[in-house]
Structure formats: C-alpha cells, structure tokens
Structure 1
Amino acid sequence: MTFKSVVSECRQKVMDIFFLLDSSNSIWIEYYKEMLQFVRDVVKRLDIGDTSLSATTTRLVLWPPLRLNRSHSQSEVLDSINLTNLPYRTGNRTNTHLRYVRENVEFRSCVTKVMVVVSDGGSSQQDSTAREAQLAHDEDFNVFVVGVGHYREESGMRAIASKPNDRFIFNTPELSKVASILPGRACSLSTIFLGCISSATPSLDLDVD
C-alpha cells in the first residue's frame, strides 16, 4: 500500500532503516513522546508495503524485543509505535546499541543501510560511541542524527553522524519539519552496489537506547 504522504524519492526505494531512540536521564518523557511521534511521521512517508505485496520485507524491531515481520501493514507498524511497546527508560548506551545494530540486526545485502539516531548527543562513553559510529560508517551504514532534548551536545552528534554532517545532522526542535525532510534525504542515498541487483521495498527496524 502506498500512502498519499509517501515522498516521491521513497517510492519503490530499496532501503533498510533502523531507528535508535535515546531514553537516557537527560531526555525527559515529554521529549521521548515527541520522538515516538517523529518516528510515526517518518514511517508515513516511506513506501512500506502491506500483506498483499509478496516482495515486502517490512519489519519493526522493538526493545524490549517485539518483532513485527513481513506480514504487517504500514498501519499496523504505526499502531505499534507507542509507549507500551517502547517504554521510557533511563540510561544511555548509545555505543552498545550502535554495536548491536551492526552485529545483530539482519540487514539485507545489496540495499541502502540507514540508521537514524534520535538523541541529545550526550554519552557517558563518548570515545566508545565515536568508535562504534566509525565502525558503522566503515560498514557502509548511513547514520543520521536527529537532535532532541533540552540539553544538546553538538560534538556528540558530529561524532555519530555520517559525513558531510550538514546532510546527516538535524539539530532543531521542529521535529515535524525534520520528519518531512529526512525521508527524502535518506531515500536519495545511492543504491548502487557492485555485483548486486535488488528489487525490494524498505525494511524498518526500531530500537530504544
């Protein structure tokens, strides 16, 4: 199913996208709720098929684990993005979660790999977080950082995001505006891989930091 809100760049786009949400002490619950709405707004703009499309590989990974696999429609994915499935928790483990995504999430070969880290950029282990982000970059992950929260650390965001930073960092309180821009920017990323032929629609993962 293609929704009217799907941006043109994302129609039939081959892409796996993973959202990593920061729910650390510095992210107040009202900001966390805004983050969940932001994810919903982005998902609405992606061309995620429903159960009638056999080529669809849509999935949603929640933390704590709850998996929605290929048979779920976009509307079911949207309904699952809530505080019940993604509870607000404290603690900041951005470095651990970046490593988890690289090593444990099953991304498809020959597709654009995207991570969207929604965070204030703060970390109790900045050096480790920067190393894990660089490893992700080295493995061809395109890492966007969306700034959120009352206290934002621009240096932390720069250490996580892909280059050029001005294309991969959104540091503004207007998350609705970011949600209207980020999908097109992500879907415009190259899908050309030597020796690869792909024809699937976007896949979706979600994790809470």
Structure 2
Amino acid sequence: MKRMLVSLVYSACLLLWDVLATYTHMGALDPHAIAAQSYAQSRHNARPPLRTLNPTKTDSECRSRPLDLVFIIDSSRSVRPGEFEKVKIFLADMVDTLDVGAEGTRVAVVNYASTVKIEFLLKDHFNKLDLKKAISRVKPLAAGTMTGLAIKAAMTETFTEESGARPKARKMSKVAIIVTDGRPQDSVEEVSAAARGSGIEIYAVGVARADMNSLKQMASIPLEEHVVYVETYGVIEKLTSKFRQTLCGVDPCAMGHDCQHICINSNASYYCKCRVGYILNADKRTCWLKQVKVEVIQDPCKCEARLAFQKQTQAALQQLTTKNIHSLNTIEALESMAGWG
C-alpha cells in the first residue's frame, strides 16, 4: 500500500513538472502571459463557428408567391472576400425560404463591378440544390461599381422570356434585390425608373458605406419598405427574415385577427364578414343579427276583425323573431365553444 502511494505521488510530480515546463518555455511562466493565454482560449471557445455555404443544407420553406427573382450583387474591390462569402450565404438562405420551381419562383444572379457578369438565368435552375451550388461558384469581379450598368443588364438580359421570365400575360411578380456597399460610379436614377416602369419591383440593400441617396433612387416605393440598410456584411444574413415576410405568402387571418365571425385575406391584409343572417357593424369587426321588420298596414275601413287579425299576426311574427334570435345565439355560443367561430 505504501509503495502504491509513493508511485501515485511520483506520477503527480511528473505531471506537474510537464505543466510547468510548458509554461516556462520562452518565459511563458509570466503570470500576465498565462492570463493572456487563458483569455484568448476562452474567447476562442466562446466564438461560434463561421458559417459556410452548404448547398445540401435546406431550411424550412415558406409558402411564397411565385416570382421571377433576380439578385444583383456588388463584388467591387471594396467588398472583401470574406464579406462576399457572407453575401452568397444570404442568397442561399433566401433560396431556402422560397418555393423554387419551374412553376414557382425562378432565380437569377447578376454579378457586377466595373463590368457585369450574368452568373445564371431564370431558366437555368429549377431546384434549390442546383441553385445553391451555382451560387457557391460565384466569384468576385473586384473592380469598380457600375450599378446602373448592372440594373440595365438585369432588365434587358434576365427579365426576358428568352432568359426564362414568364410572359406578361401571366402577371407574374418580377423582383430585383440589389446588394451594394458603395456609391455607384454611373447614373442609376434613369435606368432604375425604366426598370420599375417595365414592372420590376426593386429592393435596394445598402451595406456599410453605401450611399443612401443612390439607394432611394434605385428602389421602388414606398421607400421605407424597399430601402434596407445594414452596418456590416456580418449581419446581412439577418435580412433573410425580413424578406421572408415580404416575399412569402403570409396568411394574415392565420396570424391572428379581430373579426367576430369570418376573416377574409386581402393581399397582405384582411377584412371581416358576417355569417348569413347577420350584418357587419360600423366597427367593421363585429356582427349584429338582422331584425325582422314588421310593417302594420293600417286598414282605412277600421274593421275590427281585420285589425284583430293584424295584431295577432304582428304578435306571432315578433314571437318567431325572438325565438329565432335565441336559437341563433345558442348556435353561435356552441360554435365558439367548438372553436368554429
């Protein structure tokens, strides 16, 4: 037993010696150095892993309205390689939120700097995996910021039937999302107006040094909904939730309403209706049972028998109306209890 205890003490001393040797190497025994190493290690352990674009990973999708959607992305010299990767992750996240398909949402990407490169067209990819693989292959062009030229290329080369855009007769929504971090080196006002005039809805996303006035010149109205600004590329991924709400088919009635009887979806809003036999009150929310109006026709001859008959008829109608109100109120209460109201 004594020999075993000595062996354990000896092993512990060896372990302690190894630890001290590690920290004494090149003067690391300095308490300040040890504290610095400990702090750096704790920061490293707490830091979340960097996200990379994984084409095979698919998040839950929303029920989006079919779109012809074109991303116009700035890859000028001011956008660092790591920042450009974050833009690509944002695009891939956006693809995940959409109902992609030949009859659903079609996606194209226009890459620009001093020149413009159509990375792929609306007709090229009809599933999420292929789209995200194509996005992962996009490379920065790294010179200049010809935003106006990029908008023109999108309008004339991607939003066309030859490139996969649906015919005007189908009244398909056409949306362009521009992402830029600088000031355009060419004019954007006229070409953006022409694009909007052709039926393209434009969202302008500005990052860091983006020129706010230029963003407003590019975007559709209302500007408060179509101009978006984030301070860094590090948070651009958070915009996915905003565009999810904007581009997805939101069901306002399912999200909650204050209609007493029936909620009817109307674009991004709703209105209330009443069940048969009720009328909508002035507050446009609650309903009131229609009253049976009994009209008594005065008899000019004042015949007692006819007057008596009219009074009996009026009393009977009033009694039926009262019973009807009671029955309908009972039905409404039962429906409310059952969750049908």
Structure 1 unaligned blocks of 5 or more: 192-209
Please give the alpha-carbon distance, in whole angstroms, between the structure 2 residues aligned to 1:73 and 1:38: 17
Which protein, 1 or 2, shows the higher relative CO under an 8 Å CA cutoff with sep ≥ 6?
A: 1
Q: Which residue of 2 aligns with 1:131?
A: 190
Q: Which residue of 1 aligns with 2:215?
A: 157
Say whether the 8 Å CA contact 2:201–2:220 is kept in structure 1.
Answer: yes
Q: What's the CA shift string for 1:114-161, capped at 9, x where partnerless?
A: 000011251112xx211111111111211001122x422111111111
Among 239, 243, 260, which residue is 1:178 paired with? 239
State the SS of the aligned residue for 1:115: strand
Q: Which residue of 2 aligns with 1:7?
A: 62
Q: 1:185/1:71 Cα in 2 relative to 1: closer, same or farther (>3 Å)?
A: closer
Among 32, 41, 48, which residue is 2:93 paired with? 41
TM alignment of 1:25-174, pairs within 5 A: 25-49=77-101, 55=103, 58=106, 60-61=108-109, 63=117, 65-66=119-120, 69=123, 72-82=126-136, 85-89=137-141, 90-105=143-158, 106=160, 107-108=165-166, 109=168, 110-125=171-186, 128-148=187-207, 150-172=208-230, 173=232, 174=235
Say whether the 8 Å CA contact 2:66–2:103 is kept in structure 1.
Answer: no
Say whether the 8 Å CA contact 2:92–2:132 is kept in structure 1.
Answer: yes
TM-score, with structure 2 as normaliser: 0.47
Q: 1:188/1:130 Cα in 2 relative to 1: closer, same or farther (>3 Å)?
A: farther
Say whether the 8 Å CA contact 2:66–2:105 is kept in structure 1.
Answer: no
State the SS of the aligned residue for 1:184: helix
What code does the residue aligned with 1:119 have?
Answer: T
What code does the residue aligned with 1:131 have?
Answer: E
Please give the alpha-carbon distance, in whole angstroms, between the structure 1 residues aligned to 2:120 and 2:195: 24
Q: Which residue of 1 aligns with 2:259?
A: none
What code does the residue aligned with 2:241 have?
Answer: S
Please give the alpha-carbon distance, in whole angstroms, between the structure 1 residues aligned to 2:176 and 2:225: 14
Q: 1:92/1:175 Cα in 2 relative to 1: closer, same or farther (>3 Å)?
A: same
The Cα shift of 1:68 comes to 7.5
Higher CA-based Rg: 2
Q: 1:71/1:98 Cα in 2 relative to 1: closer, same or farther (>3 Å)?
A: closer
Please give the alpha-carbon distance, in whole angstroms, between the structure 2 residues aligned to 1:102 and 1:163: 18
The Cα shift of 1:72 comes to 4.0
The Cα shift of 1:44 comes to 0.4
TM-score, with structure 1 as normaliser: 0.74
Say whether the 8 Å CA contact 2:62–2:244 is kept in structure 1.
Answer: yes
Q: Which residue of 1 aligns with 2:41?
A: none
What code does the residue aligned with 1:78 have?
Answer: K
**What do you get for the CA RMSD once the two structures are aligned?**
2.6
Say whether the 8 Å CA contact 2:92–2:135 is kept in structure 1.
Answer: yes
Q: 1:23/1:4 Cα in 2 relative to 1: closer, same or farther (>3 Å)?
A: closer
The Cα shift of 1:56 comes to 5.2
State the SS of the aligned residue for 2:175: strand
Higher fraction of helix: 2
Q: 1:36/1:4 Cα in 2 relative to 1: closer, same or farther (>3 Å)?
A: closer
Percent identical pairs in the alignment equals 21
Q: Kindly tell me the number of residue pairs found equivalent between the two proteins.
A: 177
Structure 2 unaligned blocks of 5 or more: 1-57, 111-116, 251-265, 268-341
Q: 1:37/1:71 Cα in 2 relative to 1: closer, same or farther (>3 Å)?
A: closer
